């Protein structure tokens, strides 16, 4: 009810921008009375139709959050002294430093503006035809001065929110792949069941479009998260873990071209959809799950050996077999040399929410030096998680539609693949179905990773074994039955005979 009143009265604050331009990762949203009335009507219908349903509260809450996020999307503040982790790197929070020296901008807090947004828009100096050269030069100096002021303000703003600059630099260095539009059409399926597999919003967006899908908005978020996981694995492999935006631009550009929105690109959305239709039972326009994404990653890297990376996929569990990993890493090398291998594990850590006994192990997974992130984490809506601070997980959100990525990425294309915009989600709100990724460079590193997995506190989510189990013999993993726990046992409550969660 409060959300309805806020939207209807237009009292929901929009996230301000220092440069009064939309940031690269979220378009500007203007208050519109018609939109407000539509939101009010939709919320009313949702509440009315599902008033007697046991799921009404959860559905209405989720829907309300989406509506509010259109109008009010503030940058999160660092209000925790806990250490910050990003793909195996630890950063000091510095919370106490910022608390003792508060910083304000024009008397109010504003959300951070990406350096790339400011530099792209503010550094351009345009000379008009009727301008004198002296005036042009003087105006150019003023524009450059203003640009420097804006950049300084953006840096001060980041400090005001308390996030360590080196952590934000690391965040910005992660490759961020999102929804795209205006790419070459992905043909629709002729299968009669294809339409029923699509969401209503996808059907609505593509109604009347007979040429195929030219955008993945509404259905491609898990594919984009999987692309991000693979792209950042290749970035670590080719550019190094310490690479930052602006360095080694040629290699950076070549890497991004592998994920271009074109049928010929080896890791394009076209290739993911093609394999999904052939081997995973996923029609074009249908949402992928972690399992289909893991299988696609493995198949596409097998086809494109020039990428220099292998993928060992366990789409439906967290069991890793050392002999199979070594076979995957050496199968195309005549000298039996270990090639860099991406281990992807599709796990489910609960029913509706992540069971608390897995919290410690999930955090530890992102703290391992071999971690390249987690794809998934939201019901029918995927993110790419790269780190955490205590119970809050940081992620890159693919739910922003941008122009298609070219096979020869321009500087503007490259800017759309990076952001300093921080987003976080509490672990209690994450979906239990997800895809874990770990990049292993050598046999020695595999053994180090295996040791770290074994020493993880809390309930284990990854199990590493020497040899693959032959299920035809009826052999089961020792201790598997003993590991089964109910929710009540996990939370320390006694089973009262009711249904297990």
Whole-number Å distance between alpha carbons of 82 and 162: 13
Q: Pick from 314, 286, 259: which is nearest to 465 by CA?
A: 314
Instruction: Give 204's DSSP letter.
Output: H
- Rg of the chain, C-alpha, whole Å: 24
Query: Is 399 annotated as catalytic?
Result: yes
CB neighbour burial string for 455-476, b if at least 16 within 10 angstroms, e if fewer: ebeebbbbbbeeeeeeeeeeee
Q: Is 496 exposed, middle or buried (0-12, 13-18, 19+ CB in 10 A)?
A: exposed
Whole-number Å distance between alpha carbons of 403 and 425: 27
Say whether 395 sits in a helix, a strand or coil.
Answer: strand
CB–CB of 228/398 below 8 Å? yes
Whole-number Å distance between alpha carbons of 24 and 264: 27
> Which listed residue (397, 417, 418, 431) is catalytic?
397
Say whether 127 sits in a helix, a strand or coil.
Answer: coil
CB–CB of 205/218 below 8 Å? yes
Whole-number Å distance between alpha carbons of 421 and 178: 14
φ, ψ for residue 478, nearest 5 deg:
-55, 135
Contacts of 197 (CB under 8 A, 6+ apart): 282, 283, 285, 286
> Which listed residue (399, 417, 418, 431) is catalytic?
399
Query: Is 150 annotated as catalytic?
Result: no
Compute how many other C-beta atoms are within 10 angstroms of the C-beta atom of residue 488. 14
Sign of the four-CA dihedral 209, 211, 212, 216: negative
Task: Please give the helix or strand (H or E) that residue 341 lies within, else none.
Answer: strand 341-348
Contacts of 472 (CB under 8 A, 6+ apart): none
Sign of the four-CA dihedral 179, 198, 264, 374: positive
Query: Is 352 annotated as catalytic?
Result: no
> Which listed residue (115, 117, 221, 275) is catalytic?
221
Which residues are identified as catalytic?
A: 221, 397, 399
């Amino acid at each position: 009810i409060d959300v309805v009143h806020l939207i209807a009265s237009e009292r929901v604050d929009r996230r301000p921008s220092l440069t009064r331009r939309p940031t690269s990762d979220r378009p500007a949203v203007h208050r519109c009375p018609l939109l407000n009335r539509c939101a009010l009507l939709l919320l009313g219908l949702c509440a009315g139709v599902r008033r007697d349903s046991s799921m009404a509260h959860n559905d209405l809450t989720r829907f309300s959050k989406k509506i509010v996020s259109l109008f009010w999307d503030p940058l999160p503040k660092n209000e925790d002294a806990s250490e910050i982790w990003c793909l195996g790197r630890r950063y000091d929070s510095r919370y106490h430093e910022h608390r003792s020296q508060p910083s304000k901008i024009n008397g109010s807090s504003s959300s951070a503006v990406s350096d790339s947004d400011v530099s792209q828009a503010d550094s351009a100096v345009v000379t008009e035809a009727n301008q004198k050269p002296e005036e042009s030069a003087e105006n150019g100096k003023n524009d450059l001065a203003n640009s420097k002021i804006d950049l300084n303000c953006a840096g001060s703003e980041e400090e005001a929110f308390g996030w360590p600059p080196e952590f934000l630099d690391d965040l910005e260095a992660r490759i961020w792949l999102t929804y795209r539009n205006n790419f070459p059409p992905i043909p629709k399926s002729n299968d009669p069941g294809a339409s029923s597999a699509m969401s209503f919003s996808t059907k609505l967006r593509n109604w009347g479009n007979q040429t195929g899908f030219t955008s993945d908005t509404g259905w491609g978020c898990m594919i984009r998260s999987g692309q991000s996981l693979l792209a950042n694995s290749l970035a670590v492999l080719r550019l190094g873990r310490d690479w930052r935006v602006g360095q080694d631009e040629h290699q950076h550009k070549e890497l991004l071209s592998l994920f271009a929105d074109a049928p010929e690109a080896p890791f394009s959305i076209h290739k993911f959809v093609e394999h999904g239709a052939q081997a995973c039972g996923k029609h074009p326009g249908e949402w992928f799950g972690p399992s289909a994404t893991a299988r696609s990653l493995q198949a596409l890297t097998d086809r494109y050996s020039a990428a220099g990376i292998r993928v060992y996929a366990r789409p439906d569990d967290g069991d890793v077999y050392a002999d199979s990993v070594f076979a995957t890493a050496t199968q195309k090398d005549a000298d039996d040399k270990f090639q860099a291998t991406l281990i992807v594990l599709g796990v489910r850590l609960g029913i509706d929410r992540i069971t608390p006994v897995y919290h410690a192990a999930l955090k530890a997974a992102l703290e391992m030096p071999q971690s390249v992130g987690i794809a998934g984490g939201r019901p029918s809506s995927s993110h790419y998680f790269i780190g955490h601070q205590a119970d809050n997980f940081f992620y890159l959100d693919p739910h922003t539609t941008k122009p298609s990525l070219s096979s020869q990425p321009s500087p503007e294309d490259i800017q759309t693949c990076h952001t300093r915009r921080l987003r976080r989600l509490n672990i209690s709100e994450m979906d239990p179905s997800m895809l874990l990724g770990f990049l292993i460079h050598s046999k020695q590193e595999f053994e180090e990773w295996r040791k770290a997995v074994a020493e993880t506190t809390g309930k284990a989510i990854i199990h590493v074994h020497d040899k693959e189990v032959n299920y035809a013999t009826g052999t089961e993993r020792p201790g598997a039955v003993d590991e089964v726990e109910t929710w009540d046992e996990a939370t320390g409550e006694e089973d009262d005979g009711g249904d297990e969660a």
